[in-house]
Amino acid sequence: MKGWSQSDQLLARYSFCNMAKYISNREIVKLFREIVAAYEAKGENRFKIIAYENAATGVEHATSELKDLWDDGLLDTVPGLGKTIRGHLDELFKFGKVRHFERVKKALPKGMFSLLDVGGLGPKSAYKLAKELNLNNLRDLQKAAKMGKIRNIPGFGPKSESDILTAIDELKGKSSRYLLTEAFPVAQRVLKYLRGHSDCERAEPLGSLRRMLSTVGDIDIAVASKKPKEIIAHFKNFKEIKRILDAGDRKSSVLLQNGMQVDLIVQPTKAFGALLVHFTGSKAHNISLREYAIKKGMSVSDYGIKVKGKLKEFVTEEDFYKFLGLDYIVPELREDSGEIEAAYRPASGKSNGLPKVVNHKDIRGDIHLHSNYPIEPSHDLGTASFEQIIKKAKELNYEYIGFSDHSPGYSTHTNKQIIDLILKRKKKIEYLKSKYRGFGILNLLEIDILTNAKLSVPQEALKLLDGAIAGIHSSHRQGKNMITKRLLLAIDSPYVKVISHPTGRLLNQRESYEADWPEIFDACRKTKTILEINAFPTRLDLYDTLVREAIKKQVKLVINTDAHQIDHMDNMAYGIAVARRGWATSADIANTLSWTDFAKLFTS
């Protein structure tokens, strides 16, 4: 490592090995945000600041741990990380620290960085307070505010002092990012409320929510109206608001009682297209779009596209992209991962080809469904009966379903008991198959891939099924080799047709385990094993970037809800969003097939 003396290197490596500290994405984001703050406090070059802001956003949205990607030499697949920053990460993973970062931070009061989480407190204010009042942490800040010391610092007053106290209280009860499924219904309520105003011509979600990211930082909303002030005034009366953070002529930010932030922006319909593009993002997409436009002599903004100093406005996003010579890019693809190149339409009129991503209406069935059938399972039983599930599936216009209860408890049953239970369940399902002719029913089970890579059900029992869905439900922290081995052995079984929730992650709780994905994809293709996109709110895996890799390797996918109760079956849309974000077309998704063709996958 350049700039390190040999003894430094040895020492760092030694202490790093000894500590064996795993540096998580969360820590990296924090580190980058500290560098942004340090640069801002010092009044550094704007471009440097933007580079670290983009890097922090990129890591925040990454679906794998960067350390794992780094181990596999895949760091350059994370959007937003430039070469210099990747070099710093290299140093961080090798030595546990980055000399450049230490230098940047050293010149500033140490305490300022812990103050940055306080809403409304920017780097310059944090710097000033930490320095003037000699603050080391949040508790010092709270104490200083309570003692009335902050109002005496130039630039602060009694109002900012009480705002700081409120913000510290809010910080204590706040989670960092929300599940898409938590934010989505809240956004729907805000949209409905805004659409109820007579001056609202259109109201749409923006940002990560519109791009259907699995987790979102806040809720962003756009309104098209000729009367922005009236819309802002109306917005401020939304009954779920706890506090108004900011309200201008065309923008407002509020905090809801549930802790979520909502940002609203208003613009006249005639320029609504540009607004939607700009604030849907992602930031990385916007940056690339801007660079692309500059090459064509155009400049894009949230108001429109300027050519030779003249502003052209757009009602729709379609027209905005068209003016740039691009095909329409659906929000889910706007992550700066090749979508602009793919949308480019050369003079010949033929596009390089954005995929025609899968739609909700293409889905014809759901085969990961847990019923309340008393199979004495290893994990949780569902709450609905077979018949209730069939009824709901018909309401959803499905042509087929699969019953995939967990297998009988492995440690609590003998093989004979397991076989008997599965036999009994089979009889019941056979009866339903004959009762509901014309509607496809599969007799499946979700079986465990045990810690020792064996399956939780003996072969004699597997033979009684139409197929098995296998998943890892224990020992997620085994090393990469063992996890890969477990998955490969399951994939190799002729009875295993689907691998459920393939990465094992639980959003906001547990990151994905490490596995050799290229090898797993190869094995799936060879054995025709299908990988699941699990639509359950905390799972949403196989996740988008891996979906894209899997498709490149011609692996087939199935989108399932993993429902344990009837209303979970409505979560399909979230799984479809993951597929779309992974550039999947209906040809990549098995459950877009007709029942006749789908059933063949389980009889071959």
- What residue type is 313 in one-letter code? E
Q: Which does 286 bind (CB under 5 to 8 A by kind): Ca ion, ligand DGT, none?
A: ligand DGT
Q: Which helix (H) or strand (E) holds 162?
A: helix 158-172
Give me the least distance between CB of 209 and Ca ion, in Å please.
Answer: 7
Give me the least distance between CB of 348 and ligand DGT, in Å please.
Answer: 31
Provide the sign of the torsion angle of the four alpha carbons 334, 337, 338, 340, taken in this order. positive
Q: Which does 298 bind (CB under 5 to 8 A by kind): ligand DGT, Ca ion, none?
A: none
- Phi and psi based region of residue 144 (left: phi greater than 0; alpha: psi -120 to 50; beta: remaining): alpha
286 binding ligand DGT? (CB under 6 A): yes
Give me the least distance between CB of 220 and ligand DGT, in Å please.
Answer: 5
Query: How far is residue 128's CA from residue 123's CA, in Å, rounded to a whole number?
Result: 9
User: Of the candidates 279, 386, 513, 583, which one interacts with ligand DGT according to CB under 6 A?
Assistant: 279
Contact 273, 317 (CB under 8 A): yes
Give me the least distance between CB of 221 and ligand DGT, in Å please.
Answer: 11
Q: Which two three-digit tokens encode residue 535?
A: 């639509």
Q: Please report, as residue ranges, which positions from 218 to 237 form the binding site for ligand DGT (by CB under 6 A).
A: 218, 220
Nearer to ligand DGT, 37 or 468 (CB): 37
Contact 547, 579 (CB under 8 A): yes
Provide the sign of the torsion angle of the four alpha carbons 313, 318, 323, 324, taken in this order. positive
Q: Which does 283 bind (CB under 5 to 8 A by kind): Ca ion, ligand DGT, none?
A: ligand DGT
Give the per-residue SS3 of 410-462.
CCCCCHHHHHHHHHHHHHHHHHHHHHCCCCEEEEEEEEEECCCCCECCCHHHH
Nearer to ligand DGT, 208 or 560 (CB): 208
Nearer to ligand DGT, 24 or 142 (CB): 24
- The residues, any chain, with a CB within 8 Å of residue 283's CB and separated by 6 or more, are 53, 54, 57, 80
- Phi and psi based region of residue 571 (left: phi greater than 0; alpha: psi -120 to 50; beta: remaining): alpha
Q: Please report, as residue ranges, which positions from 155 to 184 form the binding site for ligand DGT (by CB under 6 A).
A: none
Using CB under 5 A, list all residues that contact Ca ion: 207-208, 217-218, 220, 263
Which of 257, 258, 237 has its CA nearest to residue 247? Answer: 237
Nearer to Ca ion, 208 or 267 (CB): 208
Q: Please report, as residue ranges, which positions from 17 to 46 form the binding site for ligand DGT (by CB under 6 A).
A: none
Q: Which two three-digit tokens encode residue 509?
A: 């709780």
Q: Which stretch binds ligand DGT (CB under 6 A): 20-28, 215-223, 372-380, 503-511?
A: 215-223
Nearer to Ca ion, 65 or 263 (CB): 263
- Tokens 């630039």 -> residue: 155
Nearer to ligand DGT, 128 or 283 (CB): 283
User: Of the candidates 111, 281, 304, 504, which one interacts with ligand DGT according to CB under 6 A?
Assistant: 281
Q: Which does 279 bind (CB under 5 to 8 A by kind): ligand DGT, Ca ion, none?
A: ligand DGT
Give me the least distance between CB of 253 and ligand DGT, in Å please.
Answer: 10
Nearer to Ca ion, 442 or 577 (CB): 577
**What residues line the site for ligand DGT (CB under 6 A)?**
207-208, 213, 216-218, 220, 278-279, 281-283, 286-287
